Structure 1
């Protein structure tokens, strides 16, 4: 009976991994809209242990641009996704960072950017820094309309092996996310 009473208290005591968005900047260029962001967070011990065991961890950055409409719900103008994977190669003792605009798979097909690092901190720095990411073409943007950028970054637990997905349910150690909105009308200088 004591276990039943203590278990909910242990779940409440854990806090989700705090994510700080130190920079979120949208820049309008002739060919489109570019996003730069800097995140700051530390991996929880269970996530770090899974990485050291060779389990890849996936992150997703989403950027949606919506145009406000008074007569209906907001219209989505543009949408961009960046899929990132961090994995540990035990034989070489190196960390691999992969990034793509399409979902990453173990098949290795598709176009993606990959880089190897000697330290986990270096690989995580690559995840936490997004620079000059094109999120919309110039033809998608309407300079006269009020538009909002919705940015979301999170750890994608659906990509984890099934045993980790079941174990991660209800555990805030695996919950890494941040979401922000910025008014593009004000931000990009209209």
Structure 2
């Protein structure tokens, strides 16, 4: 006579409870490591240092910045799309009764392009062009912007305190319409530095700023 022994499945409650948490940790690790290359492909502009100075009968500003292009920008550049970068300094006079008044400004636009025939990168600034064998060299030159003229709408008075605002960005308005539309749906074309804001008096004999030492109150 055959006999049968009932089979009972032993349930490991510890494994059952911990498995969802292990799966969650695994998914988080995948997301972390997969997002690292994407973050590295994003562009950035960082203002490393700036200095306003007296130059003959005018005021000028020296700017040093670090430029990194996104993978999308690099590809567009190699395909013949010219990129335009704007460096702008505003000198504002605070007014308690109305919006701040713009007293002076400096605005510089620099064009970056790639020449397929010569396989060189080119910068055009104030009608003058310079060529570079690599994108790294061109971006290094782009980040070095000395003696940018500050044009005065009104005289900068020596006994007055002004607010200075400095920023650098990619000028999307200079791109063709298809790229402007792409910019609306993608962060790859959203390239701008943080604003540097500080208080300044003229003449600015010792007015200078960098990442570790900003005179006055400097806020991003």
Q: Could you state the TM-score of these two structures normalised by the residue count of structure 2?
A: 0.68
Match of 1:21 among 29, 47, 54: 47
Runs of 4+ in 1 over 4 A off after TM superposition: 13-16
1:166 paired to 2:181: yes
Distance 1:138 1:27 in 2: 18
Give the alignment of 1:11-160 within 5 angstroms: 17-100=43-126, 112-136=127-151, 140-160=155-175
Offset at residue 82 of structure 1 (A): 0.7
Offset at residue 173 of structure 1 (A): 1.4
Larger Rg: 2
Which structure has more relative contact order (CA 8 Å, sep 6+)? It is 1
* Count of aligned positions: 168
Contact residue 54 and residue 203 of structure 2 kept, 8 A? no
Q: Give the CA RMSD over aligned residues.
A: 2.4
Offset at residue 30 of structure 1 (A): 4.3
Per mean C-alpha deviation after superposition, the further-off stretch among 167-176 and 148-157 is 167-176
Distance 2:108 2:70 in 1: 22
Gaps of at least 5 residues in structure 1 are 1-12, 101-111
Gaps of at least 5 residues in structure 2 are 1-34, 207-220
| 1:126 counterpart SS class | helix
